[in-house]
Amino acid sequence: MERTGSPPWEIDVAPPRPPWEQMAIDRWLLHRAEEAVAPPVLRLYQWDRPTLTLGRHQEVDSDGVDLARCARLGVAVVRRPTGGRAVLHGPGLTYAIVAPLPHPGATVVACYGWAIAPLIAALAALDLPVAELGRTHGATNAARLRAACYAAPSAGEVALAGRKWIGSAQRRLRSAFLQHGAIPFTHDGAALADCLRFPDGTTRAARAAALARRIADPAPLLAGRTPEELTAAIADGFRSHHRFDRWRQLHLPAAVGEAAEAARQDPRWTLTEGRPL
């Protein structure tokens, strides 16, 4: 018998997929949640290639995203259905939560808090020094870094040892929302700066150093932990927080694969394809 509390959630933990497919799945889940009664979903996934994801309305040119340089480096560039700024996905996990609004009229901040509470609890249970981040903690005014999510910590995100670690972005519809978050396993401000446009190498190095001073270095604290261990801990944390006994496996219809292929060929969603690892 299942515990009283939330209904069971669906979960998707799968081998790494191409970036346009990951985003197509999340878009499909959000619209399913908006259009029909559907259980909440937690996805924990990795990428099959280095990927720079852009916010839904982010401007490539004015924010200095260098598509030609990304293509040369083998970095895919895709657009998220959520807002926010550019995030470089390398070694690490990405989470996606798709759920009904916690209550009618729930604000963006309320949805952020609802989404990250079990995540913080799960990571704290691994003895990681995590906490919710304040709205202006560590923000940088470096103009060319305005494209980068990690240059501007916000409320509702997660700090590790006092520095921004897990950047999150959200899209909220009338009755459902999608929240993305990147959980990097390494500290690499230089790799993110490599995806942006600068007048010269000296400026690029200076901006990378400015970014590095503001983001957490998780590698020492995650030493010896595998992606599978973190995935299991996060899944267990969500299950315990929402008080249900068993996860239901997410099953995706064939239409999602068709939507993913369409997104791959659509320059609004896939700006560069990159190279698989």
In this structure, the chain runs to a length of 277
Residues paired with 160 in a beta bridge: 130, 163
- Rounded to whole angstroms, how far apart are CA atoms 275 and 74? 5
Task: Please check whether residue 102 is in contact with residue 111, taking contact to mean a CB–CB distance below 8 angstroms.
Answer: yes
Report the Cα 277 to chain-centroid distance in Å: 19
* Catalytic positions, written as ranges: 149
The answer to whether 193 touches 75, Cβ cutoff 8 Å, is no
Residue type, 191: A
Cα separation, 203 vs 144, in Å, equals 10
DSSP string, 136-196: TTT----GGGGGBGGGS--TT-EEETTEEEEEEEEEE-SSEEEEEEEEESS--HHHHHTTB
Whole-angstrom distance, CA of residue 39 vs CA of residue 243: 14
Residue keyed to tokens 């929402």? 242
Count of other CB atoms within 10 angstroms of residue 162:
12
**CB burial of residue 152 (10 Å; 0-12, 13-18, 19+):** buried
